[in-house]
A = this chain, B = another copy of it.
């Protein structure tokens, strides 16, 4: 599949997550030759999980793979990856991270670049609007998901 198709899967996963009442962040992991390895979305609410974020869920759903499978692979994600998901991409040597948006949350993009990962930010409005809607509806769930005590979202989102 091409980048557009892969990104559409990540968005589809985010929408599924939203419809399930969860944190609407989705991801798709695609090999260098365009094969979908795994897809997934944040499962904090659905599974009571602290570690199934969008990207880690895609990795988990990809199953056990040798290091060679991740070489040249791209992680498509609807939101800028948090420290954990940044680290997960680094651990497996994923080559490129394509991000829907980083306006509602800015994760480890600079660290990824510093470690040699290609980072592409799409500035996708659908991803941003979905996150803004969710954060407005369930700020306490979002706080929990990013390990934040209190965050003034109205200000940050407007930046």
Contacts and interface: CB of A to CB of B under 8 A. Distances in A.
A144 B123 CA distance: 34
Interface of A: 44, 48-52, 56, 59-60, 62-68, 70, 82-88, 90-93, 108, 143-144, 146-149
Nearest to A88: B84
Given A82-B87, A91-B84, A146-B91, A50 B65 contact: yes
Nearest to A108: B87
Oligomeric state, in number of copies?
2
User: Which of A67, A68, A147, A148 has the most chain B CB atoms inside 10 A of its CB?
Assistant: A147
B70 A48 contact: no
Given A65-B144, A144-B67, A51 B51 contact: yes
A49 to B, nearest CB: 6
Nearest to A56: B51
Nearest to A92: B147
Contact of A60 (B51, B63, B64, B85): B51
A91 B50 CA distance: 10
B147 A64 contact: no
A67 B149 contact: yes
A33 to B, nearest CB: 17
Contact of A50 (B59, B90, B148): B59
A67 B50 CA distance: 11
Contacts of A90: 83-84, 87
